[in-house]
Amino acid sequence: MYDGEAVTASTGPTSKYANINGLRLHYLDWGGAPARLFVLCHGGSAHAHWWDSVAPRLTAHGRVLALDFRGHGRSEWAAVYGPANHIADLKSFLADHLQRPVVLVGHSMGGEITQRVAYDCPELVASLVVVDAPHGGPPLRTRLMWRWKRRRQHQRRPTFATREDLVRRFRLSPPGHNLTADDLAALALKGAEQLADGTWAFRFDPRTRRMTPGWKRHLRFPLKKIKVPTLILRGEHSALLSPRVARRMHRQIRHSQFREIPRAHHHVPLDNPHETAAAIIAFVSAYRGLEPLEPFAEVEREVLSVGQG
């Protein structure tokens, strides 16, 4: 279970693991002030390190954790994926492992998952930040692209002879971004590993792209029933979340706030981490009176594995 002792933010995150629904899920612990607890959730085919430039900017305002969903990053692969399982994993991570309300932040797929968790379990969510994530599931074009990739790869994880080959194949989807070539290479390698035969591969399981039957009922629900304080962030140049859809979500979630992050495409935490963190900090500070501010409970909780992330 979660080690809840308050810590001071370090220069980098610590890797930790939690047993959630029979799987070993990985998360990065950036440390931080004990006032509140942030949980950052990445998008599809991504990993916890997508928050590396945002997380340290938040630590003065709370403890910061970044989760790898099942089949992503350093988390264990599973027999089944889909929204229902990601939602169940996140609920268990919050309720059973962390055992306190959190500031729940989700980008893209992570934003869709966090919306459902806030809807189902408001007692677990002090406030919600939805980062460039639509409501109701990925667009048809994205689903068709995932299907094409699965068929092309025959559902096997592609491998590359060298790390340089892997970096050359790395792409962000949608493609717009502000990263340099060096930034892209570093991000690719943080989500990759060298296999026993010397080849390289991305860590995520390609099967995570499969939309399981019945996924719509897990991602489509009345937004107006989200009752927790909510901030909706959209990248100024996002190709995934249109201004019209973002403002509709803002209207449907009562008392929500909406802000566009300048100089950002869909990959908002990567493109403009400074403005992203500033928007989150301003938002949670406004709701300070609604959040539990007591220090982390002094209890003995098992940490399965600890090491540098």
pLDDT band with cut points at 50, 70 and 90 for residue 177: very high
CA torsion, points 100, 234, 232, 205, in degrees to nearest 10?
-40
On average, the pLDDT of the chain sits at: 87
- Among 285, 282, 281, 145, smallest CA distance to 206 is for 145
Q: How much is the average pLDDT of 286-308?
A: 39
- Residue-wise pLDDT for 135-163, tens only, equals 987 666 665 565 555 566 556 789 999 99
Q: Which of 46-55, 80-89, 115-124, 204-213 shows the lowest mean pLDDT across its residues?
A: 204-213
Residues 6+ apart with CB under 8 A from 74: 15, 26, 47, 48, 68, 203
Q: Is residue 241 predicted with pLDDT exceeding 90? A: yes
pLDDT for the residue 210? 76
Position of tokens 């990263």? 179
Map tokens 């892209």 to a residue.
184
Q: Range with the lowest mean pLDDT among 87-91, 137-141, 174-178?
A: 137-141
Of 171, 176, 173, the residue nearest 145 (C-alpha): 173
User: What distance in Å separates the CA atoms of residue 126 and residue 109, rounded to the nearest whole number?
Assistant: 20
- Note the pLDDT of residue 188: 98
- The stretch 255-260 carries a mean pLDDT of 96
What percent of the chain lies above the pLDDT cut of 90? Answer: 75
Tokens 């991305």 correspond to what residue? Answer: 202
Find out whether 150 and 210 touch, Cβ atoms under 8 Å.
yes
CATH classification (class only), 14-140+213-308: alpha beta
Q: Is the pLDDT of residue 260 over 60?
A: yes
Domain-wise residue ranges, the chain: 14-140+213-308
Q: Is 147 left (phi over 0), alpha (psi -120 to 50) or beta?
A: alpha
Mean of pLDDT values over 234-257 = 95
Q: Residue 302: is its pLDDT beyond 50?
A: no
Name the residue among 276, 159, 267 with its Cα closest to residue 206: 159
CA dist., res. 307 & res. 287, Å (int): 34
Measured distance CA(158)–CA(259) in Å, rounded: 38
What predicted TM-score, i.e. pTM, was given to this entire model? 0.88
Residue 132 pLDDT greater than 70, yes or no = yes
Does position 80 have pLDDT exceeding 50, yes or no? Answer: yes
